[in-house]
Amino acid sequence: MHGSFARQTTGASPKAEDESFAALVVYEDVATRDRAMKVCDRLVQKFWPDLEIDFTWWRFDFLRDAGMVEAAADAAACSDVILFSAHGGRELPSVVEGWIERWVSRRGLRHGILVAMIGTGEDRLKGLTPIHVYLREVAQRATMDYLPQVVDAELGRLDSSIETITRRAEKLTSVLDNILQRRPAPRRWGTNA
């Protein structure tokens, strides 16, 4: 595997095309990836009987490569859910912000959900950070619902925070309900639409 893509699968039979949605995870390092994996595993366990979730995974470092940043921007533009998992801080790396600006402009009026899992117990900056504020503004521009998670717990005690995110994700917002109920648009041959 190249490292940028990973499809979450189980032994169950594939779902129909209209019973799936795309989820993109962007993470900073091993600790933030592992936290995101726990949330994604729980979402798959909860929704797999009714819905296939196609995950793509992008580490911040991948976004330094011009080809990968374009592929990641295309994936984000088409994703129903985008999950950020990062340490708390004043701002995201400039390559990540540049990538965000690329996909925001490509989404059009496509609705979705942006989940921000920002901060660990080891970060010096605690609570609501400037990254949360930036991602909320990004969600507004991209016509996405915004689900922030402020993590103050140590990594070993994150289960309650992950449970909180999972419970919030399980609640069908009007946007998520629309995603789950929609039928895919028919393919138009000869166009890029």
The pair phi, psi for residue 83, each rounded to 5°, is: -115, 120
The predicted pLDDT at position 159 comes to 43
- Report yes or no on 14 lying in a domain: no
Distance CA 93, CA 115 (A): 18
Range of the domain at 125: 19-181
The predicted pLDDT at position 103 comes to 96
73-78, long-range: CB < 8 A, 24+ apart: 73/99, 73/102, 73/103, 73/106, 74/103, 74/106, 75/22, 75/24, 76/24, 76/26, 76/100, 76/103, 76/106, 76/107, 77/103, 77/106, 77/107, 77/110, 78/22, 78/110
Number of domains in the chain: 1
Does the pTM surpass 0.85? The reply is no
The predicted pLDDT at position 76 comes to 96
- Report yes or no on 37 lying in a domain: yes
Q: Are 141 and 77 within 8 A, CB to CB?
A: no
Distance CA 150, CA 125 (A): 11
- Report yes or no on 72 lying in a domain: yes
* Tens digit of pLDDT at every position of the chain (193 positions): 233 333 333 333 444 445 678 999 999 999 999 989 998 888 888 877 778 888 999 999 999 999 999 999 999 999 999 999 998 878 999 999 999 999 999 998 888 999 999 876 665 655 677 888 999 999 999 999 999 875 543 434 434 444 555 455 554 445 455 555 555 444 444 444 4
Q: What is the DSSP string of 20-76?
A: EEEEEEEESSHHHHHHHHHHHHHHHHHHTTT-EEEEEEEEGGGGGSHHHHHHHHHHH
Looking up residue 27, the CATH number of its domain turns out to be 3.40.50.360
- Report yes or no on 191 lying in a domain: no
- Report yes or no on 7 lying in a domain: no
The predicted pLDDT at position 61 comes to 95
The predicted pLDDT at position 148 comes to 87
- Report yes or no on 6 lying in a domain: no
- Report yes or no on 67 lying in a domain: yes
